[in-house]
Each structure stands twice: as structure tokens, then as C-alpha cells.
Structure 1
Amino acid sequence: MTRKSITGFSNPTIKFVRSLRDKKHRRREGRFLAEGLRLLTDARESGRLPELLLMATVRDPHPLLDDLEAATISAGGEVIEVPIDILAKVTGKDNPQAVCGVYAEWDTALATIDRAAAPIWLVAQAMRDPGNLGTMLRTADAVGAGGVILIDDCVDPFSVEAVRASMGAVFTQKLAQARWADFLAWLRAGEGQLVAASLREAVPYRGAAYAAPCFVMVGNESRGLPEDYEMACDLRVTMPMKGRADSLNAAVAAAVLAYEVLATIG
């Protein structure tokens, strides 16, 4: 398949791509949108190629973009050139990057997780902010975690905002979604230590007895973890707050704990 051009906003393909900004359409189609050469290159290097690649008609040449285009065509994908104003409409950004892609969502069932594949996993319960989820995905990548498990009603990890905030980590990290009861049953069926930041019967996070595989869990940005979730954890740790704030941002707390776990169990 070769490159083609679309110039009209009313084109069915453009309408389809634009619809992927809406969660309802993403779920129905099983597809999502990612933007930017760096992010799409990370996806390619992780073994994921877009089914549809949109490129600005006027753009700076780049060897990575040439490689991405060639790989997409080789894999049977479609490459389309569009004016920059169409890219802006599709991505919802006034100054869009010169390339975006449509990807097939992948299986996010707990059964796809191999807990032995990494010493650290991050768990988010009812996280609602796509920026926080993106930060957690980047943290997971940075500490060599296996991935991020989303519990209960979390933000859609395939939303444009979450994918953008992940800076490509959505492609490098395993993702799983589950309800709390199902996750806890899955966790208890094998090895795994569940750790949460807490004030309930907690020990200092520095020097705590972490063990691999360690599942570091944080809760909702405003409510934190429900008490029964905390009490189900194998280890509850507390971090000192020396200023006026009484808590850390959820994604920041996950990062602090993840690096401490990394320092302990490597």
C-alpha cells in the first residue's frame, strides 16, 4: 500500500480518526490515537506499528519518520498526507506535531500479566487524572517495572491525554485493568507483596521490608485508598511530610515508593 492524500475535513477516514478522541468511540472501535514522532518511534521500537499513519503535507524531513512510514507500509498499514489544519482538528491541538497514528488497543486482562517478569509493579486505584497516569507509566518505565495495573474506575489509559502524558511509556509497559476483588484474588493466587502509603499501622518507607515481586499501590487523587484496601496490603508505609501539605500527589507518591523499592530489591 502506498501513501495517499486527503484534504477534506468531511472525509470518512478523517472523521473516524477524530472520533477516537472520544472514549465511547475508542471502546467501540478498539483503536486509539497517538501523536508525535518520538512517541510513535518508541511504539515502533516496542514492536507496535500504527494501522493508519497521518503525516503533515508540509513537514521537516527526518530519517525516523522515513523509517516509521516504511515500517507501517511493510506491515500493511495505511499512510496518508493531510494539511496541518486537519492534524490540528484530529488531535485537538492548535500546534499539532507533524505525525500521528491510529493503533489497535491490546488485551489488558490480568491474565496477560506475568508477575515474575519484573520485581516491581505499580498499581493505581480509581485514578482519574490522565496526567497522573502518564506520570506513573513513565515512572514504571524508569524503574524497570513490569507495568501498571489499573484498579476500579480509572482514567482510560488509551485517551489522547494519557497517551501523550506517558511520553511513549504506554507502549513499553504492560497494562492491566481489573476490579479490586478480582485483582486481590489474582494477587493472592501467587507470589507478590502489596504495598501502600498509609497512616494506618504504617512503618517508615525508608528501609521497610520490601520483597519482589512488589506491587506499589496508590489511590484516588482526592480520596486516597479506601480503608479496607489499605488493610488488605501486606505492608503499609508512611513518608515524612515536613511542610504544610498533608499528602503528596498520587503519581509522585508512587514514584518515591517505587525508587525506594528499587533501591531495596533492585
Structure 2
Amino acid sequence: MPRQITSFSNDTVKRIRGLRDKKVRKAEGMFLAEGLRIIAEARDCGVLPIVIAYATQPGGPHPLAQEIIAEAEARGADIIETTPDILSKMSGKDNPQAILGVYRQPDTALSAIDRSSSPLWLVAQSLRDPGNIGTILRTGDATAAGGLILIDDHADPFSVEAVRASMGAIFTQKVATVRWDEFVAWLREGPGQLVGTSLNTTSDYLDARYEQPCFLLVGNESQGLPAEYEAECDLLVKMPMLGRADSLNAAVACAVMAYQIRASWRNN
């Protein structure tokens, strides 16, 4: 049976709200996911929350939510029924979803990546926008990439904003975080073509030959890839800018490239 929480000062409320802070997420090894769609996606991937909180409403939770709550409770999850106002405090949003889950963070070590499990991997260097990280994860899911490798300093892929933007792909995609030198050393230990997006090349992205496994590297939103990172790439490609814009958003560029790489393999 769910336990009722009716006080804003409840310790569980404070603990869940604390997960909006990166330091707390790291210390606790947990993160928040909001909304039935994302929680259902996680369940379909075999991942259930360790805490579920939902707002009291006429007729009870949505039937799908009831299924997930029952499964999670059977696995020992803490099930909390509370008011919309307290759920809002937990989520930090004025208009929260009717349900949220607390999940354990997966292993983000590069050693957990099996490059042979997919022909396509997405790699991003120093992304600062959690929305871009979530969107790239969603692109990875859409293109059946193996996952996302985040290089150097970056926004937290387990922030509420990134998880929300991923639309559940945080549960379908592997995520690794690593410094550049470590990534390069790991990459060169096995097969893998490193493809960078850059304006400093004449190689058109439509004409390039992409090998498998392909590691698609996009740079920081404002600076792009550092010169030494470009030099390490096996291939640099350029997407022509036909209008006044001088570049694409990092997440958009990643999506265009991922689909082109997939299309090039289909046509060969």
C-alpha cells in the first residue's frame, strides 16, 4: 500500500527535491524522471524506480501508472501518494506531471561500453545545455545508436531537464562520461572510425564514406571542436550552410549526421 505524505517538511520530500541538485544526485547515485511516458519507457527497458510519488486524483492513477506502481512495489519500491502541491515541491515545477520516479544512476564508466553492440555511437564534447544532451539521447534511440559518450566538462545527463528532453531515451541508451585523452586511448584499442563535424574541411557530409563502428563527434555549442580534437579524427565532414546561419545547433547537427550515416550504409 502507498504511504501518505501530507507535509511539506517531510524528509522524503526534501530528499527527492534535493535530487534536482547535481551534487546531491552524484552523492546519492540517483536521479529523477517525471511523467508517465518516461516512466513507462523505463519499465519497457526493464528499469523500475526505487521510489514512485504520485498525486491523489479522482479515480486513482492512470491504469498504466497503476501497473507500474504494482510492479515497482513488488520489487520493494517506496510508493508515495501525496498532494499536487507537495508533488510540485518534489519536482520543483509549478505544473508537475502526475507521477515521478526516482532511479539509480547507471554505470557511466567507458569500460561499460561494448563497441561491438552497435555500428553507431554518438560522442559530444563539452556540451553545456542539458536540453541538447537529452535531444541527442533521443536521436541516438531513433537511429539505434549504442549510446552517448560525453567528453570533458559537460551538463549532467541525469538532470531533470536532460531526462525530460530525452523522452525516455536515457533508459534505452548507454551513457559514458570521460576525459578526451582517456576516450582516444580507449577508441584506438579497437575498431572504430572517429568522424568529426567541422567547418574546417571541404569534405561534404553527403559524399563521405562512413565505416562501422562509427563514432560521431560533435563539439561544444558555441566553440565547436578544438583543433587538436579535429586532428585526431579519422574523417572531418562539413554540412554546408546555405542561408545566413553559420552553423547548426549541436543537437540538430548530430541528428542530421546520424541519419546520413545510417542512410549511407543502407544505400551501399
Aligned-partner Cα distance in 2 for 1:71–1:211 = 42
Q: Which runs of 5 or more residues in structure 2 are unaligned?
A: none
Equivalent position of 1:20 in the other structure: 19
RMSD: 1.0
Equivalent position of 1:4 in the other structure: 3
Alignment of 1:1-266 (within 5 A): 2-58=1-57, 61-266=61-266
CA contact (8 A) 1:197 1:238 kept: yes
Q: Alpha-carbon deviation of 1:57?
A: 1.2
Q: Alpha-carbon deviation of 1:252?
A: 0.5
- Per-residue CA deviations over 1:22-64 (Å, capped at 9, x if unaligned) read 0111111111111000000001111111110001012664221
AA aligned to 1:251 is A
Q: Alpha-carbon deviation of 1:184?
A: 0.3
- Per-residue CA deviations over 1:107-128 (Å, capped at 9, x if unaligned) read 0000110101111110010000
AA aligned to 1:110 is L
AA aligned to 2:244 is R
**Per the alignment, in what secondary structure is the counterpart of residue 243 of structure 1?**
coil
Aligned-partner Cα distance in 1 for 2:133–2:24 = 21
- Per-residue CA deviations over 1:137-172 (Å, capped at 9, x if unaligned) read 000000010000000001101101100111100011
CA contact (8 A) 2:148 2:175 kept: yes
AA aligned to 1:101 is G
**Per the alignment, in what secondary structure is the counterpart of residue 175 of structure 1?**
strand
AA aligned to 2:99 is V
Q: Alpha-carbon deviation of 1:207?
A: 2.5
Identity of aligned residues (%): 59
CA contact (8 A) 1:212 1:265 kept: no
CA contact (8 A) 1:119 1:265 kept: no
Aligned-partner Cα distance in 1 for 2:215–2:63 = 39
Instruction: Name the count of aligned residue pairs.
Output: 265
Larger CA deviation: 183-192 vs 63-72? 63-72
Aligned-partner Cα distance in 2 for 1:202–1:100 = 48
When the two structures are superposed, what TM-score results if normalisation uses the length of structure 2? 0.97
AA aligned to 1:12 is D
Aligned-partner Cα distance in 1 for 2:261–2:115 = 16
Q: Which runs of 5 or more residues in structure 1 are unaligned?
A: none
**Per the alignment, in what secondary structure is the counterpart of residue 86 of structure 2?**
helix
CA contact (8 A) 2:201 2:238 kept: no
CA contact (8 A) 2:2 2:81 kept: yes
Q: Alpha-carbon deviation of 1:9?
A: 0.7
When the two structures are superposed, what TM-score results if normalisation uses the length of structure 1? 0.98
